[in-house]
A and B are shown apart, each in its own frame.
Chain A
Amino acid sequence: MNTSGPSNLQPDLSSKTAFVQDSGFLKPQAQTSLILWKKRLRAAGKSLQKGANVGVGILNGVVGDYLHHHDNPLAVRMGFYFKGKPLPLTPDALRSVYPHMTSKICVIIHGLVCDETIWNFPGSPQTNYGALLQRDLGYTPFYLRYNTGRHISENGRNLFELMGELMAAFPMPVREIIFITHSMGGLVTRSACDYGLRADAAWVKKVRKLFYLGSPHLGAPLEKLANAAAFVLKKFPRPYIKIIGDAINVRSSGIKDLRFGYVTDADWAGRDPDLFLKNTKNRLPLMEGASHYVITGRLTENPMHPVSRWFGDALVRKPSALGRSRRMEHSLGFPPCHHREYPAMGHMKLAHSPEVYDQIREWCEQPIIHERHIHE
């Protein structure tokens, strides 16, 4: 048997351990040592797998559109995941995974360069907003994983289709759907709802509440900076400087959509994505008939501190998260009582914070104010 590769090491060791244990070939001390090594190797394998998943998420965020167009096996396919594995959308599979399912669905959507593990609380990987809402309010959580490097509107279209499949496979009539979204996930959700409204999809009529945690509805400053830097570098007459601009422009379509928060195909289709800070966004108001909630973070305790005013939660600024634009047609108009800001909380922490969960839960418990007069 070949034992040269690390992948072969674990099975070999385990079989040998079993053999020497059975035959009494090794002294008890050596047996203990072997068992210990086996455990260590298993733990290393698990952490390697976890690291690989994180790496794949980052790769998809940075060059996910390239991976998708080249049919690279590293490209993530959109789907609901349960305990790290894709969840087949069949009634039997759903029943076996969710034996205590209810008619209330909670869809949880991560942001750029992440996967669903971003929701897990540090030090307690079984705890996340979905699991807590299931425990406290009886929601059935579905965790989405998707290729964050693709256009937001492409992911939105896929999510719209996937929600249709989920509804078709769900073993009982769905009474209520809520979305909990982080960062880019909020834009993907708005895009999916837009497709749903246009197609008059049944699931859109069930959407009651949407939570946006640090979603850059009007764009992210870091992407604007990358666009400006690449544009300036490419204007230099020196080829060795231009090449740096080219390298910056390799970033994915998903990242480029975050420049101004593009959520529809019409925002980007047929346009040069590398034009200097050219905003070609079309108007897409918040979906009527559902309640929309915003949670933002800021880097400092003091809300007036220049760091917080300029950098927001480090990646998304408050006006963008609240959709407050100088161009009225792009303003989203979240009700002030549907906004909560947390001091000294960075962008990523918004996805796994007990304080944020308390607020989400409080809002979930509130009766639905908006009446659905447009769709029903």
Chain B
Amino acid sequence: MKIYKFDSIIVGGGLAGVRAAVEIASKGYKICLLTLLDKLIRSHSNAAQGGIQASLANTTESIGDDWRVHAYDTIKGSDWLADQDIVEEVVKLAPFLIREMDYWGAVFSRTDKGLINQRQFGGATYPRCVFASDGTGHVLMNLIESRATCLNIPVFSRRQALSLILDGVKVVGVTTLNLVNGEIEAFLGNAVILATGGAGLLYKETTNARTCFGDGMTIALETGLAQIGNPEFVQFHPTPMPPRYILATEGCRGDGGVLLNSEEKEFMWDYSSMKGNLASRDVVSRSMMREIVAGRGIEGFSTTHLWLDIKRLGYEHVATKLRDVYFLCRNFIGVDPTKEYIPVRPAQHYTMFGVKTNKRCEAYGIQGLYAIGECACWDLHGANRLGGNSLLETVASGYIAGQKILENLAKDKIQICKDGLVEDEIKRQETRIKNILGKKDGENVYRLFSEMRGIMSQNAGIFRNGQDIEIGLAALNKIFEKTANVKIDCKEIALNLELQLALRFSGMAKIALCVMKSALLRTESRGSHWRDDFPKRDDKNWLKRTLASFPIGVQEPEINYEPVKITLLPPGDRGYGEKK
């Protein structure tokens, strides 16, 4: 039984987690990072291609841009479901965070004058997306890992978080499974920060990586105390490339690429008269699916898809500014984007939902618990996230959570918790693992998992309606009942992929239930949540945020609502000219 003690514990080694760690460690506090993977740089943050939004207003194209415009764009994008005081704080902070990262040594693309360059992104009024070719996430991950190396932050790699250790309503640490030797360990600290990213693997067609299980959300939800904010809002990216849904960045359209249907027509202007190809992601995804349903899709690449044309930008541009897209197209789908169109079809990309936190990133319901990045519902993105705001959220929430924790650490440094509490929790987890390993017959976890993903894609996808969701909910309930009866074939504790999935599966099923149920209850269409039976936005009844929780011993989620903070911009038209 290994017990480690630190000032605070960060679960997750992505951009948000490491940014918070850097903030705290730079003041000399002891902090540790837990990651599922072998090295920080492997985290999924590094797959972010497009860029990070900040109103630097330093180039001729972006003169006139300031934090207000950025805030309005974000709020319009969110369909007025974002908390506007948080939006204000984050967009005001953005230029500072960018320049700080540049000062630390980030390699952003430059203008001819040597200033930080920016590109146009969907839903943005000005070109405001700071980028590094199209490997922005990779460059930032490199940078932040170099900061962590510089500050000598201990990284515990190949650890899977199993549960939060609670003392009443206060969190005192986490238990983890050491994937390499199968030992259960406890990490104790005054604060626990969840930075485990989104839960994209709930869906069958997703652009997310293999570790995007949403572990942070599941362990928080399984305490029965934490709440998941806005679970019905899931973003579908317009331009992943089938058959494996590898992302072609939004920068393709930002730089002038266009979407075409089977008649090679630029159809987006029919759906969004004002922004065309650069409407927000939910609008573009829906329009694309409508084109496909109307029979103007193209068969091929194991599905029905549309075309993305970037060959019109010319070889020079594609090979330099969109280099990773060029690379991915050639190697993964065998298409040369400088000569041919790229096949694209919308797929799950981002989960706007997450552990609900307040303005200072503190989770609702559990003291000492913080959630940042995609894992949290802060709520910066509301009903739909704008491209480039996710990277901004990671660094901004990391910074703000770090500041808040520093404030708390300065006040009290000593951690007191009841005797035996930690040992009990470790024993509980050991019994849980023993039970799973000891089961002789039951359900195959891989089958259940893929069944669940199928249901989510089918019944809680881009277009939803009451009937489908009810069918989905019934099917999910059946799966959830079976989660207690999961059996696995490989009987080892260490290095067992099947066990790793079985341990997190019941929590994932709970999140899926939250998504399905709150999608059923929200009888309007807002942002990424589209109901065929209620195609209008309903500000009178639904300008409020969903809060889902899963009290222990209950079979289905409890749904509550809270009002949205409107401080800058009252609800109005999104200005994309979307035809409904």
A interacts with B: no
